[in-house]
A and B are shown apart, each in its own frame.
Chain A
Amino acid sequence: MQPEQLYRRYQELQQYVGWTEEDAKRVQSVAELLQLQLPALIDDFYEEIDRHPDARKVITGGKEQVQRLKGTLLRWIEELLSGPYDMNYVVRRWKVGWRHVEIGLDQVYTNVALSRLRRGLLRALEDCLHDDPQEVLAVRRSLNVLIDLDLAIIEDAYQAEYLARQQRTERLAAIGQVAGGVAHELRNPLNVVKTSVYYLLNAKNPTAEKKAEHLGRIERNVILADNVITALSNFAKLPVPNLRPFVLKQCLGEALETISLPAKIQVRAELPDSLAPVLGDIDLIRIVLSNLIRNARDAMPDGGCLTITAGEADRSVEVAFTDTGIGISAENLSRIMEPLYTTKARGLGLGLSIARAILDKNKGSLRVVSQPGQGSTFTVRLLAAPE
């Protein structure tokens, strides 16, 4: 975050807790008095850290580092007491939280450490002003608010940095996953191309038919490799949908035509002719339907029946794909729509996540119920076209 932004945020927080110039003056008025007590406070603070292994483990530099840290803590308290509570002050507080993420110090230690320091400071305050309990109370209130504000900024920085780091790690993991999936899906067609070329170059007595067969295979596998890349880029950048009314039955027919289904799989498409037209991008919805049909096919390696039904409900149209396949375990069910998650030996694991992304953009939705060993039903919901 930019320093100006940080400072604005700090000012907002000050307003929220009712911090005033008066509070600042009150704290500053005791700065000099408390100064003498600070070294003892700080020594006590680090002795306490030494008693907690999880807190101690972030101090890796031995006595020298502790000496340095004591200096830093002293400056921090001096600043706390004397101000000015300006932009630089806030930026330095922010850095404390950021640094804690970097060294792996759990935020709970910041909270309890500040609690300990707070108690020490307040006790020192009582010792110095023992003859004026009224004033002690007033300074106490101000000092408490000030420490809470510091803690809020440190906490804020901690969370922001922690999140940023987590996202970076997840991004790297996702890249690794994509690379693995792409490697497998591309190396298989490349392998075919390579071996066909080897055959054509080295075979001793290839017939004309064999040569033609291998050339055809090369072409087919180049297309397969290209499809992998298309699927990936489709996913990375879905086109903006062109929402128009269309007839679902026609779209389903086109989807079914492009997919080769083995004879042992029976398809029962039972869409009534009277079904209301739907609103959506027919080219994108066709991808959704195709992905669901292909999944149903893959779920029934030993054959079975795919039943496709449709109905209208509440200004929308639902089409359901029910297979009699292997079903999906509860554990997998929660993850199947994640990109790159797959239980198949072949495939990138993008089919369902693409389907869901498309339906989101087409104001539709996708839901699934499944019974392991019995089969699954995927239901697509689309808006009915206005009459």
Chain B
Amino acid sequence: MNNGVPSILVVDDDVDTCRNLSDILTDLGYRVDVAHEGLSALDLVRRNHYDVALLDLKMPGMDGVTLYREIKRLRAGTVAIIVSAYASSATAEEALTAGAWQVVAKPIDLTKLLGLVDEAVGQPLLLVVDDDQDLCQSLWDVLRERGYRVYLAHDERQAAEHLKEASFRVVLIDMRLPRGDGGSVFHLVRDANPQARTVLITGHRSETEQAVQQVLKEGANAVCYKPFDIPNLLTTLEGLVEQD
């Protein structure tokens, strides 16, 4: 669990750059981890939740964009800011297409970068628990676009892990999961993230209706039926986030 202190991962093959960013961010009260290449960065990502990852674009071995793609597979909720000494629009575009949030140029404008880090940390953290990977990816794109940070879990076990490591504002729970079901995920949320709002999602209206009603009675905040009415879902989410 992050104890409410936002955590930042800094990856740059330049040791001095890492030390400096670490000193500056630590001084501002962030928890900072540092790695000098992709594989050790991924080791850290497997073990810890990071709110923001600052990734150098050009590194020996794995480049920053490839590294971000791997991070996204493990922890889709980590916001990536790519740092580049080349101001090429092609690489910037590639990074943004991969889902990175921002691309900033070296030498870094720190006022701007710290502003971005602060903004990213303030973006509401969501968890989507659904075994449909395509749906998850589409939702990720739609919600990211709206300024949410979105973690993805495809079964109850993954959901449990994420819930242990970060505190979510809203959790979207598919009622039917291959291992476990929406009801037990709801209980997990209530235990690990009691402050989190919950939205139930279901495509099997008749089969799951009874379970849905049960979980709503226990305190789930809303229910959305598949296929999604996206504007409706977004309005629901906005309402839930604003209540805090």
Residue numbers of A with Cβ under 8 A of B are 180, 183-184, 187-188, 190-196, 198-199, 202-206, 210, 213-214, 217, 220-221, 301, 344-346
Contacts and interface: CB of A to CB of B under 8 A. Distances in A.
B19 A191 contact: no
Contacts of A188: 14, 17, 85, 106
B13 A345 contact: yes
Contacts of A213: 19
B60 A345 contact: yes
Given A192-B16, A199-B20, A345-B59, A183 B86 contact: yes
Given A187-B106, A217-B19, A345-B58, A195 B24 contact: yes
B60 A220 contact: no
Central interface residue in A198, A202, A203, by most chain B CB within 10 Å: A198
Contacts of B14: 188, 191-192
B60 A344 contact: yes
Interface in B1-54: 13-14, 16-17, 19-21, 23-24, 27
B8 to A, nearest CB: 14
29 contacts: A183-B85, A183-B87, A184-B58, A184-B86, A187-B85, A188-B14, A188-B17, A188-B85, A188-B106, A191-B106, A192-B14, A192-B16, A194-B108, A195-B21, A195-B107, A195-B110, A199-B23, A199-B24, A203-B23, A203-B24, A203-B27, A205-B27, A217-B16, A217-B19, A220-B16, A221-B16, A345-B58, A346-B13, A346-B60
A166 B78 CA distance: 48
A183 B87 CA distance: 9
Contacts of B23: 199, 203, 210, 214
Given A191-B106, A195-B108, A217-B16, 14 more contacts: A188-B17, A191-B14, A191-B85, A194-B107, A194-B110, A202-B24, A205-B27, A206-B27, A217-B19, A345-B13, A345-B60, A345-B61, A346-B13, A346-B60
A301 to B, nearest CB: 7
Contacts of A346: 13, 60
A64 B110 CA distance: 61
B146 to A, nearest CB: 32
Contact of A196 (B20, B58, B86): B20
Counting from the closest, the 10 A-B pairs by CB-CB distance are A195-B20, A187-B85, A191-B107, A345-B60, A192-B16, A191-B106, A194-B107, A187-B106, A184-B85, A190-B107
A210 B110 CA distance: 19
B116 to A, nearest CB: 15
A115 to B, nearest CB: 47
Contacts of A220: 16
Contacts of B27: 199, 202-206
A203 B21 CA distance: 12
A203 B110 CA distance: 13
A220 B14 CA distance: 13
Nearest to B16: A192
B65 to A, nearest CB: 13
Contacts of B87: 183
A300 to B, nearest CB: 13
Nearest to B87: A183
A301 B13 CA distance: 13
A140 to B, nearest CB: 61
Nearest to B21: A195
A380 B105 CA distance: 40
Central interface residue in A184, A192, A220, A221, by most chain B CB within 10 Å: A192
A198 B85 contact: no
Contacts of A199: 20, 23-24, 27
B61 to A, nearest CB: 8
Given A184-B58, A188-B106, A190-B106, A195 B86 contact: no
Contacts of B110: 194-195, 198
Nearest to A221: B16
A216 B107 CA distance: 18
Contacts of A184: 58, 85-86
Central interface residue in B19, B20, B24, B58, by most chain A CB within 10 Å: B20
A123 B51 CA distance: 86
A199 B110 CA distance: 10
Contacts of A210: 23
Contacts of B108: 191, 194-195
A192 B13 CA distance: 12
A183 B91 CA distance: 15
A214 B13 CA distance: 18
A198 to B, nearest CB: 5
Contacts of B107: 187, 190-191, 193-195
Contacts of A217: 16, 19-20
